[in-house]
């Protein structure tokens, strides 16, 4: 079918595989509208629908015959291991098998030199790896005592093992099979049975003769328009604005400040390709009914649960914590629940070791390119520095007994502006290897930028650990600032977790009012004592 897509690919200067991927994402919209017309009383038909669309994608459209059967092998292995292995090692066994297979395919891709414009199986396999490992942990949690589980584990535990058809439908859920969004099995069951829409408060806003609450199509097609906009930004601007500009000898002749300033323009353009595919697939998912998060305070249905990115909070982040919370959010949940918490010994609090293991797992999941490891290694130090900075600086601006009004609007505005500027600059610096991929070229890029990101981050860590942290603690004590305790409101009016970069929010089952997405991995790092 390549001949059908070649003219458009030539016109846009893109690869045929890229055009086919976008075509599959766009086809998901009419298919999503057909999916919801299959009655929820016929779950078998809904499972078969997803499986059938997946076959359409992998065989005639993408020509990934061998890749499809590799995915199927992972699915069957996970299904039968989870069913018959009742030991506590079961989730780790699944994790090793599917992650090992993914890493093997990443190596194959590197050996054969497949460009990232080539559509092959590692992309869908990355999404499937998250789904299968999460399923294994959900099954394991379903076999544990309820009192041993936290709120997320309790809400996601699987106590009734699914049939093979149900599991295949979940694994091949068609809007997310290629690039996400990743969803867990309980979410899929709610989607198939439409249980999230059966609450009395939800039914009160459903129009007569309809099954689903209003706003679904509007939300979906709004995402589609934004997705196409981001795609246009990347197609038309990326040839001029990209991180590879640092390799240009003419660019290197410019002054340091000019190089740093121009480099910042490349970040949003480079990220726009991710915004495009994630926003497009979010819209198609919403059309199937995924992403419903209940009614807001005004009684209007919300469709934010399938989001994988919050663009505004990434490009204009008040701090690095908010930025990380808003990027690849579904993967953050997976890393937190299936790695970060699980590698922490029972009875211990997660710390820097757990964070670094999680970051390196994320790097392995993405691939074997050196740029990934440079980015995620840097990410561990950024997280630590950002947490210390937020814990020490922010409480000084918030209301406290000795200063009920907090800092002046001017001071608070300057702090927020500097937080946005610095967070964006650190993001562009640290994420450039993730885009460039080559470790050698990434280091050359950092060198061209005079290592400004390393200077800021490592300098901050040296400052805090060399006495700055102790100084601010004493200052907080003198000013009557009480550090917040996890699970309890702060005595000085600081919102729980806001002063130290932690968050106490947990996932609320889909369908409940005011559903909040779980925090990302950096937000569960405990405050220092």
Which positions are catalytic?
A: 366
Sequence-distant (≥ 6) Cβ neighbours of residue 365 within 8 angstroms: 99, 102, 126, 129, 331
Task: Yes or no: say if 464 and 392 are a contact pair by the CB < 8 Å rule.
Answer: yes
- Farthest-apart Cα atoms in the chain, separation: 73
Eight-state DSSP code of residue 132: H
Sequence-distant (≥ 6) Cβ neighbours of residue 50 within 8 angstroms: 35, 169, 172, 173, 174, 177
Q: Is 470 exposed, middle or buried (0-12, 13-18, 19+ CB in 10 A)?
A: exposed
- Residue 518 tokens, joined: 């779980």
Residue in the structure block whose two tokens are 């490009």: 315
- Residue 72 tokens, joined: 């199927």
Residue in the structure block whose two tokens are 């942290």: 469
> DSSP assignment of 181-239, as one string?
----HHHHHHHHHTGGG-SHHHHTTSPTT-SS-TTHHHHHHHHHHHHHHHHHHHHHHTT
> DSSP assignment of 329-373, as one string?
HHHHHHHIIIIITTTSPTTS---HHHHHHHHHHHHHHH-S-HHHH
Q: How far apart are CA 341 and CA 521, in angstroms?
A: 9
Task: Yes or no: say if 161 and 180 are a contact pair by the CB < 8 Å rule.
Answer: no
- Residue 60 tokens, joined: 């005639």
- Residue 35 tokens, joined: 């999916």
- Residue 403 tokens, joined: 């200063």
> What three-state secondary structure class fits 94?
helix
């Amino acid at each position: 079918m390549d001949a059908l897509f070649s003219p458009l690919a030539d016109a846009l200067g893109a690869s045929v595989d890229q055009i086919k991927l976008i075509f599959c994402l766009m086809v998901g919209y009419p298919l999503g509208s057909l999916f919801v017309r299959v009655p929820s009383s016929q779950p078998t038909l809904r499972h078969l629908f997803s499986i059938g669309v997946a076959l359409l994608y992998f065989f005639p459209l993408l020509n990934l015959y061998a890749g499809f059967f590799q995915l199927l092998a992972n699915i069957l292995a996970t299904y039968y291991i989870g069913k018959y292995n009742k030991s506590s090692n079961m989730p780790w066994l699944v994790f090793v098998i599917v992650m090992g297979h993914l890493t093997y395919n990443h190596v194959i891709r590197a050996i054969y030199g497949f460009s990232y414009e080539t559509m092959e199986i590692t992309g869908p396999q990355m999404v499937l790896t998250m789904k299968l490992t999460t399923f294994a942990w959900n099954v394991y949690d379903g076999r544990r005592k309820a009192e041993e589980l936290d709120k997320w584990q309790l809400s996601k535990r699987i106590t009734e093992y699914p049939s093979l058809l149900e599991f295949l439908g979940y694994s091949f859920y068609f809007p997310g099979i290629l690039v996400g969004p990743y969803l867990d099995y309980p979410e899929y069951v709610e989607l198939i049975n439409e249980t999230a829409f059966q609450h009395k408060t939800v039914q009160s806003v459903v129009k007569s003769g309809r099954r689903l609450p209003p706003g679904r199509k509007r939300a979906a097609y709004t995402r589609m328009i934004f997705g196409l906009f981001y795609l246009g930004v990347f197609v038309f601007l990326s040839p001029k604005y990209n991180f590879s500009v640092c390799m240009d000898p003419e660019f290197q002749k410019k002054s340091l400040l000019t190089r740093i300033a121009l480099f910042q323009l490349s970040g949003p353009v480079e990220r726009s390709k991710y915004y495009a595919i994630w926003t497009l697939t979010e819209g198609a998912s919403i059309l199937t009914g995924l992403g419903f998060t209940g009614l807001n305070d005004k009684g209007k249905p919300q469709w934010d649960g399938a989001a994988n990115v919050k663009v505004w909070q990434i490009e204009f982040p008040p701090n690095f914590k908010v930025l990380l919370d808003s990027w690849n959010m579904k993967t953050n949940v997976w890393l937190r629940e299936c790695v970060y918490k699980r590698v922490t010994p029972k009875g211990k609090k997660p710390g820097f070791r757990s964070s670094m293991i999680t970051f390196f797992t994320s790097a392995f999941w993405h691939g074997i390119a050196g740029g990934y490891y440079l980015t995620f290694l840097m990410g561990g130090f950024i997280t630590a520095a950002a947490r210390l900075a937020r814990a020490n600086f922010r409480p000084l601006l918030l209301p406290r007994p000795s200063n009920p009004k907090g800092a002046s609007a001017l001071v608070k505005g300057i702090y927020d502006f500097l937080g946005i500027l610095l967070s964006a600059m650190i993001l562009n610096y640290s994420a450039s290897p993730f885009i460039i991929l080559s470790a050698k070229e990434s280091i050359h890029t950092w060198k061209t930028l005079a290592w400004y990101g390393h200077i800021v981050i490592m300098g901050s860590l040296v400052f805090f650990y060399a006495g700055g942290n102790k100084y601010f603690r004493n200052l907080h004590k003198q000013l009557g600032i009480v550090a917040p305790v996890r699970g309890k409101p702060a005595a000085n009016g600081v919102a729980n977790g806001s002063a130290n970069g932690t968050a106490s929010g947990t996932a609320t089952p889909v369908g409940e009012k005011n559903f909040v997405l779980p925090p990302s991995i950096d937000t569960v790092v405990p405050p220092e004592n």
